[in-house]
Structures are given as C-alpha cells and as structure tokens.
Amino acid sequence: MNQYELIADKVKREVEREIDRTIQVSYRKSRTKSGVAFPDEYRMISPQPTDIRRLATYLHELGHFIFKVKPSCMNELKAIQFSEQKLSENGIKIPREVRRHNKWYAAYSLAQALNRGMKNIPAELKPYKKYLHASNSYTHYGDGRPTKVDIRYMADISKC
C-alpha cells in the first residue's frame, strides 16, 4: 500500500466507527478521478487513492456518509470540507489544483441548485456565487421571435 491508500484506509475506519456501519468500496478501473457515494446503501465507487487528487475524491465520497444535509449543494460543500480537513490532519499539503477543483465543484453544485429553482443561497455557499457565470436562456416562437425565459448559471473554472 502507498501512503495515500494507508490514509484512505485509516479515514474509512474512522468513518465506519462514527456511523457504526461497514462501507463497501469499489474501485473504478478507468483513469477517471470521479467517484459516487450511496450513503443509504453504505457503499461507494471511487478511484483507487494512488495520488493526492484521487485520495481527495475518495475522502470526499467518505464525507457523504457523515453529512446528509439538504440542499444537495450544502451536502457537496460539507464533503469537500471533510476531504480537505482529513488531508490536512494527515499532513498532506493540498495542491492548488485540488483547491481550485474544489472551488469549482462547490460553485457547480450551487449552479445546479439555482438552475433547479433554489431561491435562498445558504450563507456558507454565498462566497461561491462569484465563480458563477449567468446567461440568459431564450425560447423562440414559431415565427422566430425570441422570448426571454430565465437565467442559467454555470460554474466558471477560469474564475476559481
């Protein structure tokens, strides 16, 4: 096991003790750095933690077993914060690339919530609004006349 796998295993045991359940982990075979957690089923799919970025993803997915909050954008922010906290606790300096991705992902989750109709942004997520790009979304009548429909939000990585 490399150092990242050792940390991943240690944190997984901590989380399992906290939730008093065993978490089943499946590793992705591809080169992807994304993961998914199924907290109600106590299982997750993650890249094998062979580098810092993959370890951050692994820890993020573990965070979903600790935090089950609404709206989902807050749940994502809590998982991001959990991942960064565990990296720091284990003496790993978080690279700029990982911090930048985390900012973008928090903004992306916020954009999804706003696009789905969320009216009030939680205070913890307000700092991430500056990473969003808003654009007008139009629909066209049959005769070609545009009518403004609404504003769509997208997370802009160049702002992170």
Q: Contacts by 2-9 with C-beta closer than 8 Å and gap 24+?
A: 2/50, 4/49, 4/50, 4/51, 4/52, 4/54, 4/55, 5/48, 5/49, 5/50, 7/49, 7/55, 7/86, 7/90, 7/92, 8/49, 8/55, 8/58, 8/59
How confident is the model over 133-153, as a mean pLDDT?
76
Q: Domain range spanning residue 134? A: 3-159
Report yes or no on whether pTM surpasses 0.85.
yes
Q: How confident is the model at residue 122 (pLDDT cuts 50, 70, 90)?
A: very high
The residue among 69 and 110 whose pLDDT is bigger is 110
First to last CA, the chain: 33
Give how many domains the chain has, as a whole number.
1
**Angle, alpha carbons 26-82-42 (nearest 5°):** 35
How confident is the model over 128-152, as a mean pLDDT?
79
| Measured distance CA(12)–CA(55) in Å, rounded | 12
User: What are the pLDDT digits (tens) for 60-86?
Assistant: 999 999 998 899 999 999 999 999 999
**Angle, alpha carbons 8-13-19 (nearest 5°):** 125
The residue among 19 and 149 whose pLDDT is bigger is 19
pLDDT value of position 38: 94
